[in-house]
Structure 1
Amino acid sequence: MGYRVLADATVVVHFAFLVFVVVGGFLAWRWRILIVPHILAAVWGLSAVTIGIVCPLTVLENWAREQAGIAGLPPSGFIDHYLTGVIYPDSAIGLVRALVLGAVLVSWIGFVAIRIRGRAVPVGR
């Protein structure tokens, strides 16, 4: 049972990571310290999608599932197992990736704009 709990906890952390990849840049608008971890998370996510870096969370989940006697994730990985074909259709993967990339880029542009505006000298001073 302990390994099953570990596998389930890993799924929760993995989903939290994916949410952070999408919205972390927007959170950095308020808490600027989050921009560095968000950049790292976004680069990791982009690397996983483009060059197939294996995520350690996927490795941990597979190990815990194996220890619990549960089938591991398919070779296509976490996103394909839990999201593609479940949350959005297989045919929309390109659109979903483009939307995620767009959200990340908009959040970074907004972050820079907010930082520049915050440094501007008020008019009349």
Structure 2
Amino acid sequence: MVYRIIGEGAMVLHMAFLVYVIIGGYLAWRWPPMFWPHLACALYALGITVIGWDCPLTHVENWGREQAGQAGLPPEGFIEHYLTGVIYPAEHLLTAQLLVALSVAVSWAGALYLQRRRKTAENRA
């Protein structure tokens, strides 16, 4: 039972990480210091996508599921198993990746704009 919880917990953390990468930059609009943790997460996600770095959560989920007697993730990994073909069609993986990148870019541009606007308002006061 404990191993199954570990596997399921890793899956939930994995999903939370992906959601944070997609929308976390918008938190910096309200709380500017949140930009830095989002930058780290977004860069790591980019490394996983572009360079092929391993995600430790994949290893934890596989280990927990295998110890619980369940099948681990396929070699393609978390995104291929849970999202590709489920949330979006497999042939639109690149489109999904580009939309995530666009969301990150828009959130960062908005955070920069709001930061500059705050500084301008401070200088006027």
Deviation, 1:121, is 4.2
- What percentage of aligned pairs have identical amino acids? 48
In structure 2, C-alpha distance between the alignment counterparts of 1:94 and 1:31, rounded to whole Å: 31
Cα RMSD (Å):
1.5
Distance 1:117 1:71, change over 3 A: same
* Alignment match, 1:97: 97
* Alignment match, 1:116: 116
Distance 1:122 1:4, change over 3 A: closer
The 5 A counterparts of 1:29-68 are 29-68=29-68
In structure 1, C-alpha distance between the alignment counterparts of 2:101 and 2:20, rounded to whole Å: 13
* Alignment match, 1:73: 73
- Provide the TM-score with structure 1 as the length reference: 0.95
In structure 1, C-alpha distance between the alignment counterparts of 2:49 and 2:122, rounded to whole Å: 43
In structure 2, C-alpha distance between the alignment counterparts of 1:44 and 1:124, rounded to whole Å: 38
Q: Deviations over 1:55-79 (max 9, x none)?
A: 0000100111111111110110000
- Provide the TM-score with structure 2 as the length reference: 0.95
Distance 1:60 1:114, change over 3 A: same
Deviation, 1:94, is 0.9
Q: Deviations over 1:8-60 (max 9, x none)?
A: 11111110000000001001111112111100000011110111101000010
- Hey, which bits of structure 1, 4+ residues long, moved more than 2 A? 121-125
Structure 2 residue runs of 5 or longer lacking an equivalent are: none
